Structure 1
Amino acid sequence: MKKDLDLGWFDLKKALQNTDRKELINIIRDLYRYSEENRRYLLARSINTNAEPGILEAYREVIKNEFFPEKWHGTLRYSVAKKAISDYSKASGDFAGTMELMLFYVENGVEFTCKYGDIDEEFYQEIYSAFEEFCTRLETPEGKTLYAGFRERLLKIRRKTKGMAWGFGDGIKLRVKEIEIFFEDAQSDS
């Protein structure tokens, strides 16, 4: 017999295929009860996120809590905030919601440095990298439809980052300008 650690997806799949519907629902219920992360994932995977905005809000809270927790100071674990974005995207398949979370992550990074002052180079690299990924996705055919809804927020980020250290403010300013030109050109081509 295989050790538990040697068992993989195919072993589990085989076992689940022999499980009746009621037992599968019980297994999912247990996973739901096991952790908050499981609850968020199962809800995002199973319920229309457009019809239930509370699902997206739960992921926003994870991100916000890394920057501005209700108690004490944030631990600012980039990996936790970025995992929330990735988990939402994988579970829901909601491109617009994923873009919302990506920009929300950047906005919280900007607010964090506005509130606490100059941070270190790693901080700015993490936030700028997320901003760059957001902008790259915004320039895709699917992202183009979202620009109008994000434009004011992008301009606000540009204003707030003016003069920020490590070239962060300059990088944001340049990238927002590139986005504006991209969408002006796209509009004139239409």
Structure 2
Amino acid sequence: MAMLRSSARWFTTSARASHHNNHRENHKFLSPNAFLGSWEAPKDPKEAEAKLARMRREYAKQVKEVRKEYIREMEAMRIEKERKDEARREALRVANEERKKLKAQAAQIRAQERDIAQQQFRQTLLKERAEKFENWRMKVKMHQEKKTEEKESLRQQSSAWIEEGELEKKVVDSMLQVIDL
């Protein structure tokens, strides 16, 4: 954490230093002022006072012009900064729109893939259900066939059975005949 702070501090310090160096290189100094070293003291104090007042007025005019120029430069810099900021915001907006568009396309593709997977799952389920139903039908059919076979076998065996009229006679005969053991 301390390393992060020191690197951030270094970055801001170097950024300031860079700005300072850039300003120092690009700054245009005014030409030397004609007022400096131009005073020659007149002998009459009233004339000196009038001359000093003229110099002050001229200096005030020059300062006013310098201030106007400074204000124009600041306004131009502000307009340029606003233009750059607007261009940056527009680039960010376009990038965001593109990212949203790509995200929406990706979501749409995922939705299509999900629909395809669900459709395949449904088809697999229907196929399995059809197979199970067919298997159940075959088992029911085999069960029915087995029952039919048993009934047929029973019917064939029943032809060898004893009739009711003869049944009484056989019962009486069997009672009469004692089997010796």
Rg comparison, structure with higher value: 2
| TM-score, normalised with respect to structure 2 | 0.20
Between Structure 1 and Structure 2, which shows a larger proportion of helix residues? 2
